[in-house]
Chains A and B, each alone.
Chain A
Amino acid sequence: MAKYITRRVFYMFITFFLIATATFFLMKALPGSPISSASKLSPTQLAVVEAKYGLDQPIPVQYAKYMLNLAQGDLGNSFQFKNASVTDLIIDRLGPSMLLGTQGLVLGVAIGILLGMIAALRQNTIWDYGSTFVAIIGISIPSFVFATFLQYWLAVEWKIFPVGLWKDGWVSSVLPSIALAMGPLATASRFIRTEMIEVLSSDYITLAKSKGATGFEVAFKHAFRNALIPLVTVLGPLAAGLLTGSLVIEQIFAIPGIGEQFVKSIMSNDFSIIMGTTLFFSAFLIVVIFLVDVLYGIIDPRIRLSGGKD
């Protein structure tokens, strides 16, 4: 196990390095620079500013500098936010995004599992069709459309929750979290339904029944854990979906999260923030995927985590 983890961590660093490199060069390939929009500056002034930030150097040199700083944990300073450090900017914005993402994921997966279980246990009844309907809605309606509906009915018409902004504490997070939860909810319910139906028809379930287990015990003690594997597989991509999904949701609800800052930075060519945020998202995803792999081994003892051949 320890060997496996060491190995995985090594690969995680390589992945991270490749992503950083690719993002850096892709960004440099775009036209414009953080200061090119400041048209009030004269060419001489521009040259001075470029020299100050090292933007006049050849791109490989800039790359080497950036990577050296990155290795020391320094993500550089922002161009648009008065030279604030990118690390501080991201940490400042992290709270709301993490709260929304986590709430959305937990809510969506929990309700999704519940719906999927009900659908599988009451196959071809009104329960099953109802759950399918919810899943289809969740998959086919984009989260931003759903968000606007929530805003209109729950905030504007019924005034239960704030329309947007991050001023009223936790209550502000409810609507965006629900909007984010719809995707994972739909995915989880479909995966659990299909897998539960398959598992419930397997031999070991018949054996469990022949021991005198009740329907509840059969479903939750025997079937559920075996039906989880496919869902766990898509949890990684689901988490990714939530992160990218939150870009749009944070815009709609005017929430000061990472996503909202990310979009702004792209518009103003703020290199260091784009790099910083991308790298942060990547690191997050890489860790989530690693955790998913570890989770496999916990759920299913047949999936051994080993170091492989020496």
Chain B
Amino acid sequence: MEKILEVNDLELSFHTFAGEVKAIRGVNFDLKKGETLAIVGESGSGKSVTTKAIMRLLPESSSEFKNGQILFNGKDLTKLSDKEMQKIRGKDISMIFQDPMTSLNPTMTIGNQIMEPILKHQKVSKTEARKVAVDLLRLVGMPKPEARIKQYPHQFSGGQRQRIVIAIALACNPQILIADEPTTALDVTIQAQILELMKDLQKKIDTSIIFITHDLGVVANVADRVAVMYGGKIVEIGTVDEIFYNPQHPYTWGLLSSMPSLDTAEAKLYAIPGTPPDLLYPPKGDAFALRSDYALKIDLEEAPPFFKVSDTHSAATWLLHPDAPEVEPPLAIVERMKKFPGSRYYEGTEGGTY
């Protein structure tokens, strides 16, 4: 498939009073046309910052690109001027935010808010833009769109507001849609509706989605591929099945083990011990080593490179090095791996269903 976005060796720092915070420390991934890439990781792992860097929405005064490229259709977004970037934002790349209660302008009718990107990026009259806005509202499942377009955000519920935010993001049929935890602030029943809506719309307008979340249940539902971020780096990337059923990085093991599931007999839910690294003073080796039960001596000294597991799957852990000792992953993970053809614990016959 055609690559639409390529992030190469991206490094980004924030300048704070305490010093330089290395929020992104060499991130590589690509996004293919029409696919959904989920970026997962705990708070502070750099997932939001990565996407805000793609949109160039970070404060210019305190953030700095140290290295790397963000190639969108061959153009390096890190090098574009503000003016050039404004032509891309909302038209080619758009974004859905976490909290629908605060992401709409309270003093502007939702019609005007939806029409804004249309009027900005397309040569259409106000009447036509209004028509598009009504169609968009209908598309995202808002009843009586003609009447509601004149209303203000406070007259809508949280789920409805997120639908409006989605309508704004889709206004110009973007090639990339970045969804930054779009369901985190919604209650569970609404979450499911919004996820269904996004999947539906993706099919209709054929857009690529970068989906940020820390909810692995959501990932399994929406994503084609998954990138696991930790301490400003991607530690493992692969297809959904590869990440869920053949994880390689100890951090991914931890993440998956701390996800409650119906078939685990254990009464206690696993929690990864310790706290995320301080990116003011990032650790020398593998950032996860200090919290990991599987850390090797070299993990503390040298950051692991990416080892290929398959064509679509790679992980940055020394455990995949040919000289590394064989370790036994946690029980829950072994159970998962048993279902995955190609993993070393696979129990079924080749080509079986999983």
Contact = CB atoms under 8 A, between A and B. Distances in A.
Given A301-B152, A301-B154, A210 B106 contact: no
A206 B55 CA distance: 10
A204 B104 contact: yes
A209 B55 CA distance: 9
Most chain A C-beta atoms within 10 Å of own C-beta, residue among B57, B105, B108: B105
B165 interface: yes
Interface in B76-109: 82, 86-91, 94-95, 97, 99, 102-108
Contacts of A300: 106-107
Interface stretch (A22-30, A59-67, A211-219, A258-266): A211-219
A302 interface: yes
B152 A211 contact: no
Interface string A226-239: 10000000000000
B117 interface: yes
Interface of B: 55, 57, 82, 86-91, 94-95, 97, 99, 102-108, 116-117, 120-121, 152, 154, 165, 168-169, 171
A299 interface: yes
A8 interface: no
Nearest to A207: B103
Contacts, number: 71
Main secondary structure, interface of A, reads helix
A215 B57 CA distance: 12
Contact of A212 (B88, B99, B105, B152): B88
Given A210-B55, A212-B88, A204 B105 contact: yes
20 contacts: A204-B105, A204-B106, A206-B103, A207-B95, A208-B105, A210-B55, A210-B94, A210-B169, A211-B94, A211-B171, A212-B86, A212-B117, A213-B90, A213-B120, A214-B86, A226-B105, A226-B107, A299-B107, A301-B106, A302-B152
A147 B313 CA distance: 76
A203 interface: yes
Interface residues of A, number: 20
B105 to A, nearest CB: 4
A93 interface: no
Contacts of B169: 210
Contacts of A225: 107-108
A202 interface: yes
Interface in A84-132: none
Contacts of A226: 105-107
B103 A212 contact: no
Interface string A274-294: 000000000000000000000
Nearest to B107: A225
A3 to B, nearest CB: 20
A207 B120 contact: no
Interface string A187-225: 000000000000000111011111111110000001001
A300 B153 CA distance: 11
Given A208-B105, A212-B88, 16 more contacts: A203-B99, A204-B102, A204-B103, A204-B105, A206-B57, A207-B103, A208-B116, A211-B116, A211-B117, A212-B87, A212-B91, A222-B108, A225-B108, A301-B107, A301-B152, A302-B152
Nearest to B120: A212
Contacts of B57: 206, 209-210
Contacts of A214: 86
A302 B106 CA distance: 8
The 3 closest A-B pairs by CB, nearest first: A212-B90, A211-B90, A212-B89
Contacts of A202: 102
A301 B94 CA distance: 27
A296 to B, nearest CB: 11
Contacts of B154: 301-302
Nearest to A210: B95
A203 to B, nearest CB: 4
Contacts of A299: 107
B89 A203 contact: no
A203 B107 contact: no
Contacts of B55: 210
A207 B97 contact: yes
A211 to B, nearest CB: 4
B89 A211 contact: yes
A215 B90 CA distance: 15
